[in-house]
Structure 1
Amino acid sequence: MNIKVLILALLVALITSQQYSISQCDCSQLLSEDDCQKNDMIKCQWDSTKKTCKIQDTTTNPVINYAKYCDNFKEMECPKQKPCSNCGSYSACAWVDGQCTFFTDCTAFNKTTDSDCQAISNKCITDGTHCVEIDTCDKYKKQQSCVKSLFGSLCYWDTKNNNCVDADTCDKLPIKFQTDKECRHEIQSCTAKSGGGCVDSGVNCSDQSLEIQCVWDQSMKMECYWNGTQCKDRICDNAPTTLNTDDSCQLFKTDGSCTTKQNGGCITRTTCQAASIQAACIKNSTNEDCYWTGTTCVDKICSNAPTTLTTNSACAAFSKGCITKQGGGCVLNGDCSAANISTACVKNINNFDCIWEFNLQRENMCKCSKIQYYS
């Protein structure tokens, strides 16, 4: 009897030991794909590349509650643009049924106007039935949505083939365009045509047949001018003779390169000496002042000041940095010695005091004062 009990105890111990050993087996000990996948006690997965069994990867991406993010905003603040760099498919928020919520897809909303679709999300426009996402021109299936692409360029509805294409030629631009500026904003080589829409620009200004086209040449390097009957290059020589002031010629060609001339019209601005009339004697081509002496135009510099100017203040008003001189007129101030009369001997170009030295034995002269006062 004792022998039977002993044998039974040994068998129980052996079975318990075997079960314990199985429960402690790890994935790397399972050598076949079948054993690896059928092991329910520990989660294993079979690596088909390395032909080994490993612990199953249970890592999951964190869930971000975008709906809660969007809920924080009122209508005017609801961010219809992408709110974050890792938003995944939740690319923006949308204003729907009086609240800000995460945006999923344009086609979920039955709206018949662009403004209604844009009120939901600025990613959406209408095709006349429901909202669709702003996309490339070829993705639009209906004419109403065939207006503008994702990249901001215009689209054109091809009635012959019943599809939407890029408006990449002048004749495909909208008929509502009335001006050269509207046409060239989309395609530089286009200009306006009679009745609306756009056509290819003439190569030169002289090739533009209509006044509405007479703005630029085709390359937009030369401005054009309509003289009443034909289109010409906007250059000084082509200005009308009704322009008889420097200001009016500057308005004709806004780069300031024109001034008026004898008998009206404009010429290219060069030197002060080239101006033959007082109306043109304003500035030279480097924007420096000119001075009309009464008969000729000269540079407005100290040495050209009239002899009627006999004080430092009068000379300073004529041109900055001038002082009066002996016999009237002006000279450019510099060291105190630049002053050759006592009335000019006040301050040098650096604003230091000067003193007129009177001496019977030698020539009177202006010198720098030895005593300088500093505040």
Structure 2
Amino acid sequence: MIEKIAIALCITIVTSITLNLNEICQCSQLIQEYDCINSSMECSWNFQSKECQDIPCSEILFSSFCIQQSQRCYWANGQCQNFTNCQSLLGSTQSICINQNIYCPASNGTNCQSVDYLQTCASITTSNNCNYYFSAAGVCMWNGQSCVQATSCSQFQGNSTTSCNFSGCQLNYQTKQCQPKLCSQLNGEIQCSQGILTFGPYLNNIIGCYWNYESYTCEEFYPSQMNYMNCYGSSAGTYHWNSKKEKKGDCVSCYQQFLILSIIITMLF
């Protein structure tokens, strides 16, 4: 019975291509050496113990890598520092706060705050504060009269002017339509690895993409098609290779293993 539940959960989670940044793998969960070494300078491989370990926040030199470890680090004053709480971060706007720590996207005008303090789209009364604001439920946009949650790229097009500024959308210059961006439209390996932002809930809104070295094209991330080299990097660090051996294993969610283990323990006790 337990085995059937575990298999069902694997199928449900692994087939998903919308990535949740709340489920970023911890260094200790990376059992494959390649994943650890490829972890954007956030982790280091201990060749003696054969384990993946955290790099101290102070030794992470780039903001983009520091922010990826936002559950333990934050970026401020040109340095990666140990994270304590959102309130300790100075930030007058959402963008300033997000650029320090993705788990602190709200602001009270002076200090940053956690996701719990995000405004709803409906509570915002001006277009300047509304457009492209990330609420907990998703991205906000001004429809001319009020602030609403965006659900499609076509909503960003006005009657007289074409607006397609959301990073998850792309303007079709032939049809003049604002359409969802596809992995195949991303140019180059670096842009491809960043994935595509969607309208979904905050932090659970990235479509994973991976760079196909054979065709030199960007393709959509499907865990079942990944190998030990592209599993972790193509999933924004939310999936990992579940075997120490390169040729044996699967690309699985770090959260998936924790969830299955929790259910099994609950059923046993």
Q: TM-score by structure 1 length? A: 0.22
Which of structures 1 and 2 has the larger relative contact order (alpha carbons within 8 angstroms, sep 6+)?
2
| Bigger Rg over Cα | 1
Q: TM-score by structure 2 length? A: 0.29
